[in-house]
Structure formats: C-alpha cells, structure tokens
Structure 1
Amino acid sequence: SSIARVHRHLPPSSAPLLLKRRFQIINLWRPINHPALDWPLALCDFRSVDVKKDLMPVALIYPDREGETYGVKHNPGHQWKYKRGMGPEDYVLIKCFDSIQDGSVAILTPHTGFQDPNSPEGAPLRESIELRALVFYDE
C-alpha cells in the first residue's frame, strides 16, 4: 500500500527512481479548535509490538481503488502513551511506514483515538487533522 501511494501521488517518471531509496510515510497530527479531551490520540511504542503476531492486514476499499492498513491485536505487553489535553498549538509526528524492514528501525507507529475515562463530562468532541508526507532520503 505504501508503494502504491508513492505511485498514486508522484509522476510516473519520478516514482521508480525514488522507490530505490529509503522512504517513509510520516503523518503530522494535531487537534484543531480546542484541546483533544474527548477521544485523544494514543501512540504505541513499536518496541513493544510483535509485528508477526500483533499486526493484521486490513483492506481499505474505496470507490476508485483499494489500499491496506494494519489492525492491531490486543497485547498486554504493548506500551501505549498519550499526552492529555493536546491543544491546537501541539502536534505529533507519526511514522506510518519505513522502507527499511531489517529490524534496525521502527517500521510504523500503531496509533488510535481512545475513550479516556478521565475526560471531563461534556468535553467537546475531538476535532483533529492529520497530514501525510512522503519522505525520501538521499542515500
């Protein structure tokens, strides 16, 4: 799916050359309008993820194409973190893919919104935006 994304967003003359290099998909996530108190974003430390056991491919079916993402199976060993009350001035960078797959770096960061039992009663619904960047390295 990551390689397909490169082909979908870049000119046909550029994609094959760029795909010979290391590349990543990095998302920038941030709340908009008010702090994300209701369903804040949580990130899982990749070092606590067993790729073969914890990640399962999930098909994404769109009207004009198909893609793939990963679902994350529960594992009590996962190390989830979040920052309470992230506001519009805060952001987080999320690695969603890395072409280095030899175990030397995190290949992705599982992330999700979650129902925080400590959210104040009547907190406004989370409003957030996520931007995606294709990052290519000169190596």
Structure 2
Amino acid sequence: MLAQQCAQQPLFAQVQLILSSPYTRALQTALEIVRFNDIPLKVELELHEWLPDNTGSRTDTNEQAATAHKLYRQHAGKRTTASPRPYESAAEMKARFLATLNKYAASYDCIACVTHGEVMRQFGDQKDVDCCGVRVIAVN
C-alpha cells in the first residue's frame, strides 16, 4: 500500500529512469512506481544497503553485524583504524551511490533511485527515512 501511494506522487512525471537496489523490498517498490508511471527500470547492484562487512567475503555473524552497526553509529559513519569490524563507512557508501548515478548522468536529466534508508541518509539531514520515503537530491 505504501509503495502504491508513493508511486502516485507527481514528481514521478519528471522521472526518465528508475534505478533500483537488487534487494527484494526495493524492487517491489520500484515495480509499483514503474507500473503506475511506465518509466524504464534498471537494477543496479551497487545501490544495496550499508555493508557491515565490506571485505566482499561476508564472513560476519549477526552479532558481528550488530557490533559493526553500533560502531558505525558511534563514530558518525566513520570507520576508525582501530575498528575490529571492516564495515562500510558513510563516505564509501555515498561514493558507491554517486558512482552508480554518474553512469547515467550524461543521458538523463531526472533519475529516481529506489534504495535503502542508510544510503538515503547520506543526502540531507541524517534523520531516519520512512519506508517509501522520498528525498529529492541534486547531483552535480
């Protein structure tokens, strides 16, 4: 229901392309937007949520992931050199997101991204983002 309401927002009339995280819930939301607005959709692997282990081996347990998240929050998204967990920093997450957008920037004037709250928090006031929340950002 939230995704259907989100899809009806007038701002989607300007959108030329939707990029979506590959995670199930994000794809479900993106498909509702596509269904209502008939906008092309591309799935981008790099639009995934924050990583509690950015080594690529995903060896963390639930407890280790919780510890990484606690450290991430305590250090305002920074990873200290003394950190026992190799979590993704806020700067790394933002750079990953922007690199994905930059692949499309020359071809599109208005792109919608369906991604995750922690990724969206990197653009704006750092408050939590509601499920199906929308943020408008300008990327130069």
User: Which category describes the TM-score, using the shorter chain as reference length?
Assistant: under 0.3
Higher RCO (CA 8 Å, separation ≥ 6 residues):
1
Q: TM-score, normalised by structure 1?
A: 0.23
Higher strand share: 1
- Report the structure, 1 or 2, having the larger helix content: 2
